């Protein structure tokens, strides 16, 4: 119970104190992007990436805390993705629960990489295409 409340409290703190503060800083800058120089645009891009990160991180912490209140054990969903060295590592660190679900319930049942090169790439295509949902089907 105490751990659940801790996760929720820390998640709310990151959302309100960090992510929303960055959003408040960015709002006037994004309303008039033509008035920004190149350094201003670069600072907006970097600030926005951190706003997104802290929003997702905060929501994940709240979800973990709420899950614990209801008796579920949800895994940590972020593992310092901005410290990754390549896009593959970034994906693994950012989308831990999504990647695990896609691997366990789509990629492996399709055969994974055990049926040759063509089938491996076909399976990867099917898994990535499934992320689009049925909006394009």
Q: For residue 101, what is the DSSP state?
A: H
Q: What is the pLDDT of residue 29?
A: 79
| Confidence band for 96, pLDDT divided at 50, 70 and 90 | confident
Q: What is the pLDDT of residue 136?
A: 53
Q: For residue 74, what is the DSSP state?
A: P
Q: State the average pLDDT for the chain.
A: 86
Q: Are 94 and 78 in contact (CB under 8 A)?
A: yes
Q: What are phi and psi of 82, to 5 degrees?
A: -75, -5
| d(C-alpha 103, C-alpha 42), whole Å | 35
Lowest average pLDDT, out of 10-14, 24-28, 50-54, 131-135, goes to 131-135
Burial label, 65 (beta-carbon count in 10 A; 0-12, 13-18, 19+): buried
Interval 8-36: pLDDT, tens: 999 999 999 999 999 998 888 777 777 88
């Amino acid at each position: 119970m105490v751990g659940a409340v801790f996760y929720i409290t820390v998640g709310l703190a990151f959302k309100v104190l960090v992510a929303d503060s960055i959003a408040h800083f960015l709002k006037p800058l994004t309303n008039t992007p033509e008035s920004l120089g190149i350094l201003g645009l670069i600072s907006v891009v970097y600030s926005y990436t951190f706003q997104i990160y802290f929003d997702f991180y905060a929501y994940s912490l709240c979800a973990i805390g709420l899950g614990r209140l209801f008796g579920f054990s949800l895994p940590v969903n972020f593992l310092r993705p901005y410290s990754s060295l390549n896009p593959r590592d970034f994906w693994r660190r950012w989308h831990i629960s999504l990647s695990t679900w896609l691997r366990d319930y789509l990629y492996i049942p399709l055969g994974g990489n055990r049926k040759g090169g063509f089938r491996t790439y076909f399976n990867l295509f099917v898994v990535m295409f499934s992320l689009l949902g049925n909006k394009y089907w």
